[in-house]
Structure formats: structure tokens, C-alpha cells
Chain A
Amino acid sequence: MVLVSGIGYSNLSDMSFGRVLLSSLEKMRWPPDVRVEDLNFGPIMIYQWFEELPVKFEKAVFVHAAKRGRVPGTLEVYSWRKDLPGAAEIQLRIEEAVTGVISLDNLLIICKHFGVLPPEVTIVEIEPEKEDWGQDFSPAVAARVSEALELVRNEVLRTER
């Protein structure tokens, strides 16, 4: 099984990239073992959802936006293989999660800490330009939407089954 999701807050211009693309991903046609899920809530709930789910995912593909000082609109795909931070940092992430913060970063760390994260995780990530209130993407980000959707599709299809 492959899990697909887009993470981010609504109405935050480019920072909503994952959230906005999720609705397109939900409408796309996928193989039967692909599940597109809205996981835009506190990661503790996501950890508990993973834990309760009768099926286990071999892979997850997440789309989101992250500011890293690249050229706006830069689109990157990478495997998330990061080691877990120390206990104090994990505890901080849990505090944020239970008090309602939505964050892919927290989702990955918390789910990995509790041993429920799929073994393979791929991130499709865009560099934002506009980070304030707004329903529209900046031109640099808007120009990469189709490509990002295609990257997600490719990541899903190239998963070994």
C-alpha cells in the first residue's frame, strides 16, 4: 500500500501548496493499492490513525512547501531518512502536536518515534515565495503545480510492489 498526502495550512499562499495539491491528488486516478488521505491535523491523531489502521503502508509520499532559501519555485524530491532528534526535541514536537499545530516535520518525527511511519518516505517539496495570507500561489510556485503532481504520480508508480 502507498499513502499519498499534501500537508499545510489553508489560505497561506505558497505555504498551502501541499494542502491545495491534495484536492487535485484526491481527484486523480490511482492504482487500487494507493490511498490518498487528508492528514492536515495534529500529528498525534495521525500516529493513532496509523496505529489503528488494519493495513500497513510500504511507502508514503508527502507534498508540502518549506522555506530553505532556494530560488522560489524550486521543486525537489527526496527520501526522508533523517535520524530522530533527541528526546527533548521529540517531546517539544509532541507538545505542538497535541496543541493543534499542523506540520509535516512534526508528523514525520512523531510517527517515526512511535514506530508507525512507513519504511519509505518521499517528500515532494517546493520553495515558497509568498508566505502571508492569501488563496493564490505566487507565479513562481503556480508554474510548478502540474510538475509537482506528476512527480507525486511518478513516485507512486515507481514503488516496487
Chain B
Amino acid sequence: MSEVAGLSDLDRLLEHRTRLGICVLLSRNDAMTFRLLRDLLDETDGNLGANLSKLEEAGYVVARKEYEDRKPVTWYSLGARGRQQVRAHLAALAALVREAQQEPR
């Protein structure tokens, strides 16, 4: 069986919807707070936190803590590695979709 175009370039870490969502949102913004990511992705604190930790460990995402009105606010941004991986992953997804659309029905 021949390999489908783009399949081998997919990033395993970004195959999870939440992690892909985090990276795509961060690729469109310089920085985003935990709260907004949670609201936009419709996730629980625990689930989002766990996925952000995985992305941080892999060096995709960088966290920065700040205080606003004495309350801690965590800002996340995409690191250089994360930006590169997201771009490659999205290109692979696009190739995959193109390939699938060419399949005979």
C-alpha cells in the first residue's frame, strides 16, 4: 500500500484537537491567557492544563506568569519550534485533504 501524501509529516503531538487548537490560536496571537484559551477551546482547567504542559515539555509553547490586580495570570506564546511544527503539521493536513479529495468515489 502506497503512503498517503502528508501522512508521515503529521506531528503526533498535534494530532490531539486541543493541542492543535492551542497551537493554531497561539500562531495567530503573540500571547494568550490560560482563561481565554480555555473559553475558546471549550475545555476544562484540568484538561487544558495537561495539554499545555505536554506542549511546554516538548518546547512548543512558552509560559509567562504575570499579576493583574494581584491575581496571577499565565500568558502562553508559541516558541520558534512550536511555530515551525504547527506550520509543517497544517501543511501536511492540507496535503492529506487534497489527496483525499482526489480519491475516486
Do A and B make up one complex?
no
Q: Could you tell me which B residues sit within 8 Å of A by CB distance?
A: none
Q: Could you tell me which A residues sit within 8 Å of B by CB distance?
A: none
